[in-house]
Every structure is written in C-alpha cells, then in structure tokens.
Amino acid sequence: MIRERAERHHRLPALLAVFTLGLGAIANAQEHHHQHGGPVPEMGEDGKRLDSYQVKHDMDQETLAALRAKIALYRGMTDMELNMNMSAMGPNYEWYASERDLKGGTGVLILSHGVGENSDRMLKESLESIWTERPTAIAFGMAMMSSSHLQSAVDDLVARGAETIVLVPNGTTTEYNTLTRQWKYIFNMGEEATYLEVPTVQSDVEFIMTDHFSDHPLITDVLYDHAKEVSKNPANEVVILVGHGPEDIEDNGPDLEILSLHVDRILAKNEFADVKIINLQDDAIPVIRESNVRKLRRWVKQADDKGQDVIVVAVAAASHGVQAHIRQDLRGLNYTFADKGMSEHPKYIQWIAAAIDEALEQEQRVATN
C-alpha cells in the first residue's frame, strides 16, 4: 500500500467550534491529539481535519533507521528516496462524514489506506447510507509515523455520544496485511506495530473491528459485475483479478487462498473461458513485485496468443491507486481494463453495512453468553 498514492503518479508510493463542546473538553482533546503526533487541524466545513494533501518529509536519521528496520522495501533506498517515497503517500487525516448534529451510541470509523483527493472524496460520497444512519468518520492513511488522525476521529465520535465504535478495515483485503496489524496495534487489539510504534488510541469506548471483505459473496458479485460491464464475448475471454496485495511474502499465500474463492464462484457461472487471480504485492521488495508482474504479463500474453481476449479487473476499494500501476505494468499488451474501484458498486456498500451489523450482533451474543 506504500505505493498506492498514484493520483500524483508516484510509483513508490483543534477542534473547531462547529459543534458544541465545553472548553475543558476542547483543551483535553487538543492535549491528547498533540501526544499522538502534533496538533490536529481544525475541522473544516466539509468535515476534514486536514491542512493540505501535499506532504513533505525530512526525517532524522533515527526515524529513517526505524523505518528501514520495519520495512524491507526501504532498506534499498537512499535517505532522499525514502523521504520522497513517504511524501508521495500523502497525509494521514480524518474526514468526519456525518452531519455534526447526528448523535448515536454506536459510531463507525472507516479505516482506509487513502489514495488522493478525488478518490477519497468518491469513497466518502459512496458511504452516504452509512454516515446518515450512524455517526461516522473516515480515517485516511497508513498510520506509519503518527496516529493523531485516528485519535481525533475517535474523539469526534465520542463527542457525539458513541460508546461503541465499529472499525471497518476498508483499505485491506484480508487480515494478512501489515497495515491491518498496524491498525490493530493502534487500537490495542493485541498486535505489535508493523511500522513505527506510534501512540495507541486512548478512549473508554469499546472498539469492535469488522471482518475484512475477504471472500464475501457480495464482493464476488462486485468483481463479476465489473467484468461483465466491459465484456463482449465471455466464452472467449479470460478474466484476471489483480490486487494490490500484502508486502510480506508470508502474507501473500494466505491472502490469495482466501480471495481465490471469488475465482471459484465466477468460474462456476460457466460464462468466461477462464478466471485467474494475482497480487502485485505493490509494496514488496523489487524482486518479489517484479516476479508477480512477469507472471501477470505472461498470463495476458498467453491468452492473447491463443486468440482470447483478456479482461483485467482491479481488486481495489479505491477508484484510483493501484490501477495506475497495473496500467504501467501491462503497457504494450492487449487487454481490457475494468478499473473501477469496488466502492463505486452499491454491493460494496451493502457489504460494509452487513459487516457492521454482523460485528455488533456477534458482540451482543458474546455479551449475553
């Protein structure tokens, strides 16, 4: 996910009195935010706590060394390259989505990798049925070096009555992912930091994390529909599902094993000539990523040589990001790209709503047993 800030075409990728809080609560929240990586920007009229999408890093040697110790990709970079890569990822920030006067005992915090201004806005707009029902915030970014945007999102939800906050990991496919583990570390869910050891979120509320979309049937429907939108002759078409993928090689196998159920379901429809799946492992060290790209290109060329048409479907929630890398990886080959982000499909939002309800029901069953 480190590279996914592709809206700017990089390869490697406080509290405002808009709502009512006591002065003491504001002071406490500001102090709390400062402890999590500096003052949090005031909330704008659009709900964002963000100064700018443009980020520039000039990290000290201690921070650079810590990042290299945690992330294999960074070990081969110079200091300048690492600073540029981190800047290319863009900001960690909160976007409070609900109306400020919406109250509720259950809040929702959507955890998203983030891609860039346009794609982040599209995700926020697609979630309207969620944020009109319950107080909802979206946290964009990988939380590699700070967690203040996550703390501010929690504080804003608590200020609107939340006693339980449901965390939805929108930015990753399965639990086999360093970003998922970083989120779990920050929310004190028993994981160690996979990036830097940023402050953990402090709150008296109960946190519940939903399942990932993994092999959910609604996601199969989304991928199938996106393929069908660009299909012309299914019997002669090979569908290749292409995901961002986890950076660690030990995560990639389990991740693909889970996601392969989408392949099985689409194949069972007996419409397409073949269906395959692959992860780019977009943030892995070059030798791993390049191997995946060679395999993907080989699949496309083999189908083309046999006279078959190829449909490449992006397994990505965001509408931009890894799609730009796929295009570059497949330059010069013949294929049709179903490049929509899954969040553009109504069934993806149905999955999020179902995941929230299922997590709450599971928590209730545990509480009553």
Residues 353, 340: one domain? no
- 185-210 average pLDDT score: 97
- 261-267 average pLDDT score: 98
Domain-located, residue 106? yes
Q: What is the pLDDT of residue 6?
A: 37
Token reading at 359: 């997590």
Q: Could you identify the residue written with the tokens 């730009």?
A: 324
Domain that holds residue 155: 6-213+348-368
Residues 333, 364: one domain? no
Assign 37 a pLDDT band (cuts: 50, 70, 90). Answer: low
- Cα dihedral across residues 174, 175, 178, 181: positive or negative: positive
Q: What is the CATH number of the domain that holds 325?
A: 3.40.50.1400
Answer for the pair 166, 106: CB distance below 8 angstroms, yes or no: yes
Domain-located, residue 309? yes
Residue 74's contacts (CB-CB under 8 Å, 6 or more residues apart) are 67, 68, 82, 85
Residue 3 identity (one-letter amino acid): R
Asked if pLDDT for residue 188 goes beyond 70, the answer is yes
Query: Cα separation of 216 and 353, whole Å?
Result: 13
DSSP-assigned letter for residue 121: H
Q: What is the pLDDT of residue 55?
A: 82
Assign 226 a pLDDT band (cuts: 50, 70, 90). Answer: very high
- Cα dihedral across residues 183, 347, 223, 326: positive or negative: negative
Domain-located, residue 228? yes
Residues 327, 275: one domain? yes
Q: pLDDT tens digits, residue range 51-76?
A: 998 888 889 999 999 999 999 999 99
Q: pLDDT tens digits, residue range 105-134?
A: 999 999 998 888 998 999 999 999 999 999
Residues 260, 170: one domain? no
Q: pLDDT tens digits, residue range 127-172?
A: 999 999 999 999 999 999 999 999 999 999 999 999 999 999 998 9
Assign 44 a pLDDT band (cuts: 50, 70, 90). Answer: very high
Q: Could you identify the residue written with the tokens 């979630």?
A: 127
Residues 134, 169: one domain? yes
Residues 27, 157: one domain? yes
Residues 195, 225: one domain? no
Please, which residues bridge with residue 311 across strands? 239, 336
Asked if pLDDT for residue 21 goes beyond 70, the answer is no
Answer for the pair 240, 296: CB distance below 8 angstroms, yes or no: yes
Asked if pLDDT for residue 4 goes beyond 50, the answer is no
Token reading at 281: 């492992």
Residues 182, 227: one domain? no
Please, which residues bridge with residue 187 across strands? none
Answer for the pair 135, 98: CB distance below 8 angstroms, yes or no: yes
Q: pLDDT tens digits, residue range 314-364?
A: 999 988 889 999 999 999 999 999 999 999 999 999 999 999 999 999 988
Q: What is the pLDDT of residue 180?
A: 97
Query: Cα separation of 78 and 127, whole Å?
Result: 40
Assign 18 a pLDDT band (cuts: 50, 70, 90). Answer: very low
Domain-located, residue 1? no
Number of H helices, E strands in the chain: 12, 10
Number of domains in the chain: 2
Nearest to 320, CA basis, from 2, 3, 6: 6
Q: What is the pLDDT of residue 58?
A: 84
Answer for the pair 340, 320: CB distance below 8 angstroms, yes or no: no
Residues 275, 207: one domain? no
Residues 181, 302: one domain? no
Sheet hosting strand 48-49, strand order edge to edge: 48-49, 93-96, 136-140, 106-112, 164-169, 206-209
